[in-house]
Homo-oligomer: A and B are copies of this chain.
Amino acid sequence: MVTLTTVTDSANRADPASRSDRGEQTRTAIAAAAQELFLERGYDKTTMRAVADRAGVSIGNAYYYFASKEHLVQAFYDQIQVAHAAAAEQSLASSDKFGDRLRSVLTTWVDVAEPFHGFAGKFFKIAAEPTSPLSPFSSESRGARETSIGLFRQVVDGSDLKVPAAIRAELPELLWLLQMGVVLFWVHDSSTDQKRTRALVRQVVPLVDKLVRLSRLPGMRGVVGDVVELIRSVRP
């Protein structure tokens, strides 16, 4: 059984120190009940009434802590993120080759996310809506996004990679986008143990490695500049 990572939404609760956490236990109980039920029967077949029941609270109380049923999946997002950061950090210690580091961070994600692949579709659907706070591009998830980008910065910084400074600066964000692409593929991947996603990672990493190193070639200067310029101008 997967354990719950309690993530207090510090953006919403202003003063964690002085504020009593009387309600935190309830909040956690509700999130835990939701996780259990989602894993047991999936998102659709889990009713808010069942979540409230298992958490031992009233249905109205569940809505006091979570604005909607969709908000209950935030806990998964957080949990995967935390577990990935820990596992990736671990694996990054073993090599300073860029390709190795990138591959291990990406495959680590697939490992960590595996238990949730069953309802990844629902998860994805909820995060897809641009107005959703769970969207990976939303301002609400900026913290999580920057943590994730930071992980890719570690991949680059701790590596043997020698590339133009302009590329080096943008690379973490580009690699995060690559990760989003992997997630997209993973969500659609119905092969056992997500074999195909793992194969994708194995294949795409050497290609990225090659492309990035190619950026040092004199003839590539123009392209590199264009890419950097594109990213700059496209960022909000």
Binding site for B on A (CB under 8 A): 120-122, 124-126, 128-132, 135, 137, 185, 187-188, 196, 199-200, 203-204, 206-207, 210-211, 214, 217, 219, 222-223, 226-227, 229-230, 233-234
Contact = CB atoms under 8 A, between A and B. Distances in A.
Most-contacted residue by chain B among A129, A185, A229, A233 (CB, 10 A): A129
Copies of this protein chain in the complex: 2
B204 A223 contact: no
Contacts of A204: 230
Contacts of A187: 130
B137 A128 contact: no
Contact of A210 (B129, B132, B217, B222): B222
B207 A227 contact: yes
Given A124-B129, A125-B129, A137-B188, A207 B219 contact: no
Could you tell me the dominant secondary structure of chain A's interface residues? helix
Given A210-B222, A210-B226, A219-B217, A203 B129 contact: no
B214 A226 contact: no
Contact of A214 (B128, B188, B223): B223
A229 B226 CA distance: 26
The 8 residue pairs across chains A and B that have the minimum distance between CB atoms:
A128-B128, A125-B129, A121-B130, A130-B188, A207-B226, A125-B128, A203-B230, A121-B129
Nearest to A227: B207
B131 A121 contact: yes
B233 A199 contact: yes
Contacts of A135: 188
Contact of A226 (B132, B199, B206, B217): B206
